[in-house]
Structure formats: C-alpha cells, structure tokens
Amino acid sequence: MNVTSIIAFIFVFGVLVTVHEFGHFFVAKKSGVLVREFAIGMGPKLLSWNRNHTAYTIRILPVGGYVRMAGMDEEPDLDAGQRLRLTFNEQGKVTKIDTQIDEAGIGVPFQVDSFDLSDALTLTGYSDNATDMTTVHVDHDATIIEENGVEVQVAPRDVWLQSAKVWKRALINIAGPVMNFILALVIFSGVGFAIASVGLNEPIIGTVQKNMPADQAGLKAGDEITQIDRVKTTTWDQVANAIGNSKESQLNITVLRNGHKKQVEVRPKTVKINGVQTKQVGIIEKTHTDTISRLKYGLINTGATISQIWHALSHLFTGGFSLDKLGGPVSIAKTTSSVAKTGCLNILIFMAMLSLNLGIMNLIPIPALDGGKLILNLLEGILRRPLPQSFENAVTIVGAVFMIILMIAVTINDILR
C-alpha cells in the first residue's frame, strides 16, 4: 500500500467508527447515562481532553474505537492501600482524585483504605501521613486521573447504563447502526449533487443511440419500458438485465408512449465487455438534474445497497458458509487501496457501502454486537424485570469470544488469499 492508500484507509475506517460510536454517545448523553470516555482508535493514547463530564481520547491504532459508559464492565477505580492526591472544593468535597502520585502535581496526599464511588461517594483512609483514619466525601461530578493519564468522571450508580430505563438502553444500542445508515444516506445524496445528472432507476429511455438496434426499431427518448418478452419491468436494472442476459435473437419490447402501449421488435447486438459477452440495443437511462431527484438518488442508492447486503448476508447462511465470503481489516485495506486509485468520489461511495455493511452487521443478534444487546433489552422488556447480571455477562462473553475467533479466522484467511 502506498501513502495515499494508507491515508484513505485511515480516513474511511476512522469516519465509520467515529460516526458509529457517536450514535451511542449522543443517545447515551441524552438518556442521562454518563459517558466516561469517547475514544477513537485503540491502544495507548496520543491526545486527550475533557468536556462536559466526558474524556475524549485519540489513540495510536486507527482500527476501532469505543464509548465507555458508566456501569459497562465497571471495575473498581481504586485499590485498597493505593496512594492518591486529592483536590477539594470550598465545601470540603473531593473534586479530583489523582492516581499519578509519583508525578508532579497539586493536592493533598491520601492513602485509601476503603472507598465507595458508586453509592455513598466516600473515601476512607489516612490523610497526609496522619495516624487517624478519616472519611472524606466525593463530589458527584468529581474526576479521577487514571494511571495512563486519562481524566474520567467518577461513576455514581444513578448515571450507570443499567440505571436507565430499558427503552432508553435499547435506543442507545440501536443508535450506532442508525448513524451508519444516516452517514450512507448523506454520502449518496452528496454524490448525487456532485455529478452532472442522476438516474433514478426508472424504466424510462433517456437517449437512443443512433444506428443501434433500438433506433432502427423506432424506440424513442421518453418511452417507458413496461415489459420485455414476458418479463415485466419496473426498474432500469430489470431492463438492463433482461436485455443483457437474453438468449433470444429478437426481443419483444412493450413501451408506454404518450399514454398508449406500443410493442416494438428489436434485434439486440452482441458485444464483448471485459471479456464477457452481453447484448445491447443502444438505449440509455433517463437522468435528472433537479434537487428533488438528487435527493431521491441518495435514498434509492441507500435502499438498493441495503438490499444487496441483505441478499449477500442471507446467502452466507443459505448458500453454505465460507470464510471466503467474509472480509476483515486486511480485505478492507486492500479494497480501499484499489478504490483510492480511482478518485475521491469512489472512495466516498465505498465508504457509504462499508457504513451500511457495518450498520447491518452490528444488528445481527450476536450477544457481543448491538443486535445481541437489543435482544437482551427485548427479553427484559417482556419479563418486566432486569436480567441477572451473571446471565448478561456470560452471554456477552460467549458472543465476544465467538467474534474474536471469527475475526482472527477471517484475517488469517484474508492474508492467505
């Protein structure tokens, strides 16, 4: 891969992940759930800043990202016996807990013996080499500077993901895939405005090429093709397929012209394109230049791509499972490299297709994915009581292990190919 391809891959992957995670982030915030960290990339942090109770981090590996919500795989923020540095407000409550005690900083030294940062919001221990144990209260919006330097909010139970109503959690889970669909729609609509004119997949002739079979048979621009032989046509794709794949030497084409039906006999011409024989009659789809049509172009292409992905996904299981039908980061990087050579517009179209792929794949009901989480939300809604945490954890772990094994297998298969 050259530098351009690498930049294109990072750009495409970065935008897709950012948009997906932003969906979870935005709805979680609106639902009153504390988002402790919004990370783009994985691994060690390159850059971090805090705003509105959330730590935003850019990490070194541009291969993913995550939204760290309070209550998700929550682990103790501190350890008994750990030395800290505390900052207090005027009311005597702790507003900042610095775990980087060995580095320069301001605050009161404190050795913690026990703590409760979920309900009571207290730290118990020894302050500044004192011999008597003391308990200090922690502000609801206090922050913790973790050992990796990222400053995050403490997580009181009332802002945990589990504390939100089940319908809000369902909205949070579905928000990521929805943002991928929206991104694709925006890109396809943008492409519609970027090109000279757009086709809306209508079975209407826009241009008849001179001295071609259609011209010789009397077909005209504006004719709506309703049937080819015995095959009804409602889209231009159906027209193209019916002509290109025809085995007949003569086609009976029914058109609607000025409100009247007319049948035309056309003898298609056999041509070879990229080594493949196909048939043509010399007609071009009708195109449009108005604003409404350009917006419709975005909707039509988004819907058509979703249909294609869904067909491929269903064929993955009904047509026999094979790793060759799947592609991981290596395959995406290779395809991105090829697309990058064809121009920015094609990169954007590829990004839109990938975005829809990501959105649909995340809706598959596998526990580690958003679709699996939605199933758990549905079960909780039906039962009208929270599912046992041990059950949710076990199901999620099984799903995560399955996805990791599948990703490793797909990546190895991509490399071998």
Q: Which residues are catalytic?
A: 21
Dig out the tokens for 275 from the structure.
Answer: 């080594």
Planar angle of CA 64, 65, 68, nearest 5 degrees: 150
Q: Distances in Å between the alpha carbon of 84 and those of 89, 110, 147, 356?
A: 16, 5, 11, 46
Residues in the chain: 417
Closest to 257 measured CA to CA, from 228, 220, 288: 220
Question: What secondary structure does DSSP assign to 91-112, as a single string?
Answer: TS-EEEEE--TTS---SEEEEE
Q: Distances in Å between the alpha carbon of 157 and those of 2, 72, 224, 301, 340?
A: 49, 11, 63, 44, 47
* Distance separating alpha carbons of residues 15 and 13, to the nearest angstrom: 6
DSSP E strands in 52-162: the ranges are 54-69, 83-88, 94-98, 108-116, 122-127, 134-145, 151-153
R_g of the chain computed on alpha carbons = 29
